[in-house]
Structure 1
Amino acid sequence: MTSPSGRDEDGSAAKPRLFVCARCGTSAEVLSEGPPLTWTYSVEDGTRRHFCETCSRENLRSIEGRLDSGWW
């Protein structure tokens, strides 16, 4: 687990995690456990899919309607 200081519990520097948007391919590296705060995710067919801020905003109604991303 990463602390707010960006270090792992053993004191070593945290390794950045790469998240890739399932729709457009935009990528982001973060030091936190989850995706960037402005990103969303969906579980489709048991697989977690992350979406960048732009794709999330453009498809907000479909996301709220729980439509699979294939329908967007």
Structure 2
Amino acid sequence: MDEQTHGPVAGGTENVVCALCGTRAESENAPPTWLCSVENCSRRYYCDECARTHIRAIEGRLDSAWW
């Protein structure tokens, strides 16, 4: 219960990039409409358009290689 939670990390001063289409966020943090998924122990961010397109696969926990 006393675990620390961490917000979105962009890795330095670089903007967050969509893992599918390469769209860059306007700031260091992912916008609230973007989706974050953890695959193979690393965070992947998806822009709102890619997230909408692949929402069923994402909710079904399919690996992004299957999309």
What band does the TM-score fall into relative to the shorter chain?
0.7 to 0.9
Q: Assess if the C-alpha contact under 8 Å between 1:19 and 1:28 holds in 2.
A: yes
Give ranges in structure 1 of 5+ residues lacking alignment. 1-15
Map 1:1-72 to 2 at 5 A. Answer: 18-30=15-27, 34-72=29-67
- With structure 2 as the length reference, what TM-score do the two structures score? 0.74
Distance in 1 separating the partners of 2:62 and 2:43: 14
Distance in 2 separating the partners of 1:65 and 1:18: 28
Partner of 1:4: none
Give ranges in structure 2 of 5+ residues lacking alignment. 1-12
Count of aligned pairs: 55
The percent identity for this pair of structures is 53
Distance in 2 separating the partners of 1:17 and 1:24: 17
- With structure 1 as the length reference, what TM-score do the two structures score? 0.69
Q: Which has the larger radius of gyration?
A: 1
- Which protein has the bigger strand share? 1
Runs of 4+ in 1 over 2 A off after TM superposition: none
